Amino acid sequence: MNKSLLIALGVFLAVVVAGMFLLKKPKVEAPSQGMPVPGATNVEEKVVNEDEQKTTEVVVREVTVSGNEYSFNPSSLTFKKGETIRLTFTNVGTTPHDLIIDELGVRTKTISRGKSDTVEFTVEKEGTFTFYCNIANHQSLGMEGEVKVE
């Protein structure tokens, strides 16, 4: 190859590489200490209030009641007004049962032997209430209990 052709090719490549470096836009990073960076746009400093980051965690109290012919265990429950309850009713009897607390708007499904149903609710009334099984005459046969809300 011709020596002058090699030199011209070398100069051409040098100009291309130098042009690429000159035309490449520099990367602008956000300031680390609130100092402005020349060429940076739309840089915002956001101060987050720690109180806004805190979330209110609802504590749920787990309560389990079992029912059979013709009683509940336990037969007495105590809740606090404003408390959130997750009530699991399990049928340990041989016939279908449910659990109802009318004044608190609580009603489980009617469940068969060995099954459970869970309802979650927030206690909104104070007082003493009856919970019972609504199937046939189960309540009159003694399948009821007491809920005290303080």
pLDDT, residue 44, reads 45
Q: Which CATH class is domain 60-149?
A: mainly beta
Contacts of 82 (CB under 8 A, 6+ apart): 122, 123, 124
Per-block mean pLDDT, blocks of 10 residues, the chain (150 long)? 72 71 58 47 48 69 97 97 97 97 97 97 97 97 97
Note if the pTM is more than 0.75. no
Q: With contact defined as beta carbons under 8 Å apart, do 60 and 84 qualify?
A: yes
Residue that is written with structure tokens 């007491």 in the block: 146
